[in-house]
């Protein structure tokens, strides 16, 4: 199991050596979802090759590798100037990925609301067509730099909000430089589902061959959420450490095993460092039990 962490859940660091020592104290040879400006107080912006090489070297001293370079952008931002700046930031990530051990460069798929929350225009064909043009631009940069970019779907919120729509994106480009970051909690509808097995079996049947990395976390149902003010009834709060919510991870890991995803890097998100050891134990046991006949 290629297990690791979303680095900024630990907090901010002054140096890569501090981050490396912290991550490796929980796991031997962990991989990271690494968003520089969220991890370091003085991250280089834009990212430079020299800075990235130094970071990667310092992490490697503790056998820590970067699996995902997280470039948090809204590729559909309604302000053209801001949108251009963010698309350029993602292109910068693609340009330097080779200096960090060739991690995938990942982002969510954005919203026409500047706050990056749901608005109904997100789900129109017109918006989807514009989104595809933006991805085509980024993909050209990925191909030029021999880098792989990944997209993450967020249900009931972003431009790509369902497995079906993500499949449309993948099939539109059919490129080895484009893949999926699969977050089982984020792709789950905000009202949850009645059958985890059927929902995720269908999603993975569509997307498994495109999945390059995965997130691991959990969710609970709450009466309301600022993220989903439109929703009626209980809604998903997807910011829970793995093993502390309602997600049936044993079923999910069985499906990951069935679809040949055992060796895909998986990073823990929304964890609490104080209970991280328990989260790791839970995830490992669920993963190992899922592989048994």
Q: Percent of the chain, pLDDT > 90?
A: 94
Find the mean pLDDT for residues 88-93: 98
* Weakest mean pLDDT among 12-16, 99-103, 206-210, 232-236: 232-236
| Confidence label for 6 from pLDDT (cuts 50, 70 and 90) | very high
Q: Is the pLDDT of residue 156 over 90?
A: yes
Element (H, E) at 5: strand 3-6
Element (H, E) at 196: helix 196-207
Cα torsion for 37, 138, 190, 289, to the nearest 10°?
-80
Find the mean pLDDT for residues 93-120: 96
Q: Is the pLDDT of residue 270 over 80?
A: yes
b/e map 4-21, b = 16+ CB within 10 Å: bbbbbbbeebeebeebbe
Structure tokens at 167: 């499949």
Ranges of beta strands (E only) in 44-183 are: 65-70, 104-108, 149-152, 178-183
| Confidence label for 181 from pLDDT (cuts 50, 70 and 90) | very high
268 pairs with which residues across the strands? Answer: 5, 216
How many residues are there in the chain? 293
User: Can you tell me the distance from the alpha carbon of 192 to that of 185, in angstroms, rounded to the nearest whole number?
Assistant: 9
Give the pLDDT confidence score for residue 229 in this predicted structure.
Answer: 79
| Confidence label for 19 from pLDDT (cuts 50, 70 and 90) | very high
pTM for the model: 0.96
Structure tokens at 262: 């055992």
In 3D space, the residue among 218, 211, 223, 99 whose CA is nearest the CA of residue 166 turns out to be: 211
**In sequence order, which residues have a C-beta less than 8 Å from that of residue 213 and are 6 or more positions away?**
33, 67, 68, 104, 106, 150, 181, 182, 264, 265, 266, 267
Q: Is the pLDDT of residue 158 over 80?
A: yes
User: Can you tell me the distance from the alpha carbon of 214 to that of 210, in angstroms, rounded to the nearest whole number?
Assistant: 11
In 3D space, the residue among 31, 16, 27 whose CA is nearest the CA of residue 69 turns out to be: 31
Q: Is the pLDDT of residue 32 over 80?
A: yes
**In sequence order, which residues have a C-beta less than 8 Å from that of residue 13 and are 6 or more positions away?**
19, 22, 39, 40, 41
Give the pLDDT confidence score for residue 232 in this predicted structure.
Answer: 84
Q: Is the pLDDT of residue 121 over 80?
A: yes
Find the mean pLDDT for residues 264-272: 98
Phi, psi of 33 (to 5 degrees): -95, 115
Give the pLDDT confidence score for residue 73 in this predicted structure.
Answer: 97
User: Can you tell me the distance from the alpha carbon of 254 to that of 80, in angstroms, rounded to the nearest whole number?
Assistant: 44
Give the pLDDT confidence score for residue 130 in this predicted structure.
Answer: 97
User: Can you tell me the distance from the alpha carbon of 4 to that of 62, in angstroms, rounded to the nearest whole number?
Assistant: 13
């Amino acid at each position: 199991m290629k297990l690791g962490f979303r680095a900024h859940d630990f907090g901010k660091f002054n140096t890569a050596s501090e981050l490396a020592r912290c991550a490796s104290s929980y796991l031997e040879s962990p991989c990271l979802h690494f968003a520089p400006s969220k991890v370091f107080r003085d991250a280089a912006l834009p990212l430079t090759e020299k800075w990235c090489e130094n970071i990667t070297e310092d992490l490697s001293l503790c056998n820590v590798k970067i699996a995902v370079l997280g470039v948090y952008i809204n590729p559909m931002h309604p302000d053209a100037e801001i949108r251009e700046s963010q698309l350029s930031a993602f292109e910068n990530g693609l340009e330097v990925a080779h200096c960090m051990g060739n991690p995938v460069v990942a982002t969510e798929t954005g919203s026409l609301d500047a706050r990056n929350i749901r608005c109904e225009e997100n789900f129109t064909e017109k918006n989807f067509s514009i989104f595809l043009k933006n991805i085509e631009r980024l993909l050209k940069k990925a191909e030029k730099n021999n880098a792989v970019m990944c997209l993450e779907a967020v249900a009931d919120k972003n431009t790509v909000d369902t497995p079906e729509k993500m499949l449309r994106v993948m099939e539109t480009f059919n490129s080895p430089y484009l893949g999926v970051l699969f977050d089982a909690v984020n792709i789950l509808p905000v009202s949850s589902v009645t059958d985890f097995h059927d929902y995720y079996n269908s999603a993975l049947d569509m997307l498994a061959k495109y999945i390059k990395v995965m997130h691991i976390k959990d969710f609970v149902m709450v009466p309301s959420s600022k993220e989903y003010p439109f929703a009626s009834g209980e809604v998903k709060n997807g910011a829970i450490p793995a093993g502390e919510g309602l997600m049936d991870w044993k079923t999910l890991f069985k499906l990951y095993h069935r679809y040949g995803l055992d060796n895909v890097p998986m990073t823990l998100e929304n964890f609490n460092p104080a209970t991280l050891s328990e989260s790791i134990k839970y995830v490992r046991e669920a993963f190992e039990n899922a592989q048994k006949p």
